[in-house]
Amino acid sequence: MKTSSIAIITATMLGVTAATATADMKTEVGPGEGQLDIIAWPGYIERGETVKEFDWVTGFEEATGCMVRVKTANTSDEMVALMNEGGFDVVTASGDASLRLIAGKRVQEVNIDLIPSWHTVDDRLKQAPWHTVDGKHYGTPYMWGPNVLMYNTDVFPEPPGSWEVVFREMTLPDGQSNKGRVQAYDGPIHVADAALFLMHHEPDLGIENPYELNQDQYAVALDLLREQRKIVGRYWHDAFIQIDDFKNEGVVASGSWPFQVNLLKADGAPVASTIPVEGATGWSDTTMMHIDSAHPNCAYMWMEHTLASNLQSDLSLWFGAVPPVISACTDGRGMQTAEGCANNGLDDFDKIKFWTTPVTSCPTQGECVPYYRWVSDYIGVIGGR
């Protein structure tokens, strides 16, 4: 986990306001500057190099003259660190990074009037709190989905009914212990997965939101994570390393993304995924524009490009996620189908606890444990403290 340059939330996060980002909002889009530098999750920006049919970069470059360069990041903290360093135009930020980027003045307000396809965005996402502050937009929705429980179907003839298989030591259906055969996410936001588990199994704790924990609730979540530490074979943050671990290293269960599930299935691996009884955390990612973008015209062109239903359709199929442009599921312009979107969780929006940044001042508690504590304490958990 990249912790040396993690941007720690300070008291500024207690009251994020639209005044935090001060770049003048563009009022028109001019000629492209010839280049676009993007920070993205693995698998998000494809140009046909992995699978030739999945390419939404080449056509954009040909149409705009904006040549795309991509830096992949494996955690939200890494994305924040890269945006703090600068030199990038846009980032596909999840909800546990987006408010930090706004509060830290790393991203600028987006003029949605310059994005003709904005009206096609799912109404549930247009005012999403992870990219909208005081009614002002700091990006365009890119893709969303759940953090699923991926499992080996040879070990689990039936889908695991609970996340307990990755939190507590037990004997699995194949008669062997899960110790050393499960993984956990290498990021502080994983504390929320523990809290979600506790919401279901220890309701007396009174947790209403897994990102809003008082000190007592937080302490119990950390204890569960310390218990999990005893059985975790690897904390994963690289999707492709996790894929290899399931294929070659005996890993049989872990929280994961549909992206890994799809690639493993396509390769013939005995894997499947499920959302257990406790529900799931999830991510809703936003294309956000750097406050000091050197190529703002190309950035606006890219944000418009990403809302095209054919791109949304193909990306949804490729990543196993849900497009924020719902017509991408049914209009036939891409490879995704209505059934595919349903399988990816289109109707589960209200069941997912989307990643968001924990802050001190929170609606469900008098005072919550802020994210900088999650960072330092999770490092301690991983280190065996």
Contact between 195 and 207 under an 8 Å Cβ cutoff? The reply is yes
pLDDT at 227: 98
- Do both 72 and 211 map to the same domain? no
Measured in degrees and rounded to the nearest 5, phi and psi for residue 282 equal: -165, 180
pLDDT for the residue numbered 272? 96
The Cα 321–Cα 97 span in angstroms is: 19
- Distinct helix (H) and strand (E) counts, the chain: 13, 13
Domain count, the chain: 2
* Amino acid identity at 80: V
Nearest to 141 by CA among 92, 73, 78, 70: 92
On whether both 73 and 98 belong to a single domain, the answer is yes
Q: pTM for the full model? A: 0.85
pLDDT tens for the chain, 385 residues long, are: 233 223 333 333 334 444 444 568 999 999 999 999 999 999 999 999 999 999 999 999 999 999 999 999 988 999 999 999 999 999 999 999 998 999 999 999 999 999 999 999 999 999 999 999 999 999 999 999 999 999 999 999 999 999 999 999 999 999 999 999 999 999 999 999 999 999 999 999 999 999 999 999 999 999 999 999 999 999 999 999 999 999 999 999 999 988 899 889 999 999 999 999 999 999 999 999 999 999 999 999 999 999 999 999 999 999 889 999 999 999 999 999 999 999 888 988 988 999 998 989 998 988 999 999 999 999 999 998 7
Q: Which token pair is 142?
A: 């890119």
Q: Looking at residue 302, what is its pLDDT? A: 98
Cα end-to-end span (Å), the chain: 16
Q: Are residues 131 and 16 in the same domain?
A: yes
What is the model's pLDDT at position 23? 66
The answer to whether residue 1 is domain-embedded is no
Q: Which residue has the tokens 């979540």?
A: 221
One domain for residues 127 and 153: no
Residue 2 placed within a domain = no
Mark whether 368 and 347 lie in a shared domain: no
In a domain, 138, yes or no: yes
The span from the CA of 380 to the CA of 377, in Å, is 5
Yes or no: say if 18 and 133 are a contact pair by the CB < 8 Å rule.
yes
Q: What is the pLDDT of residue 224?
A: 98
User: Do both 105 and 174 map to the same domain?
Assistant: no
**Same-domain status, 134 and 16:** yes
CB atoms within 10 A of CB 91: 30
d(CA 338, CA 340): 5
- CA 166, CA 109: separation in Å to the nearest integer? 40
Q: Is residue 316 part of a domain?
A: yes
- Cα(318)–Cα(41) distance, integer angstroms: 13
User: What is the bridge-based pairing of β-strands 232-236 and 182-185?
Assistant: parallel
Of 49, 104, 55, 58, give the one whose Cα is nearest residue 82: 104
CATH code where residue 167 lies: 3.40.190.10
Per-residue confidence (pLDDT) for residue 20, from 0 to 100: 43
Contact 63, 69 (CB under 8 A): no
* 10 to 15, 93, 170, 360, 362: CA distances (angstroms): 10, 19, 40, 10, 15
Q: Are residues 221 and 275 in the same domain?
A: yes
Q: Are residues 155 and 301 in the same domain?
A: no
Same domain membership, residue 102 and residue 69: yes
Domain assignment present for 341: yes
The token pair that represents 1 in the structure block: 């986990």
In a domain, 75, yes or no: yes
Residue 10 has a pLDDT of 33
Same-domain check for residues 263 and 207: yes
Is 3 inside any structural domain?
no
Q: Residue for token digits 């606006």?
A: 300
* Strands, E assignment, 1-93: 35-40, 67-72, 90-93
Q: Are residues 317 and 372 in the same domain?
A: no
Domain assignment present for 6 = no
Name the residue range of residue 228's domain.
146-281+358-382
Given this model, what pLDDT does residue 384 score? 84
